[in-house]
Amino acid sequence: MLPKHEVIHTSRLGWGELKNGKLLAGAEAAGFDVMITVDRSMRFQQNLTGRKLGVIFLHTLRNDALTLGPMAEMVSTQLETLPPGEIAILTHPDWPE
């Protein structure tokens, strides 16, 4: 869905058990620029000040390709402008108001 970017799921890296701060630290150490997540608690639990990567939080009802597909363009645009240490919150177009 993001052809201009390399996307790797945490499970492919063996990071399935890492949570929140440890996951962010692992992503930074591995040289990632941005983490994309649907983890609703991470945006409230983590302080990104001083971090070398940005975080994109997807506010969506489900975490599957069919649901996330309509968000690909929003994510791609955000990937181009998100500064390190910042969080962007993107809401699915069908999110109930």
The per-residue pLDDT for range 47-79, each reduced to its tens digit, is: 788 888 999 999 998 889 899 999 999 999 999
Each residue's pLDDT tens digit, 87-96: 899 999 888 7
CA atoms within 13 A on the CB side of 26: 14
Q: Which residues have a Cβ under 8 Å from the Cβ of 90 and sit 6 or more positions away?
A: 56, 57, 58, 59, 71, 74, 75, 78
Q: Which residues have a Cβ under 8 Å from the Cβ of 42 and sit 6 or more positions away?
A: 20, 55, 57
pLDDT at 8 over 70: yes
pTM of the model: 0.87
Three-state DSSP class for 58?
A: strand
pLDDT at position 43 is: 65
pLDDT at position 33 is: 93
DSSP tag of 61: S
Each residue's pLDDT tens digit, 9-56: 888 999 988 888 888 899 999 999 999 998 877 767 677 888 889 999
DSSP tag of 18: -
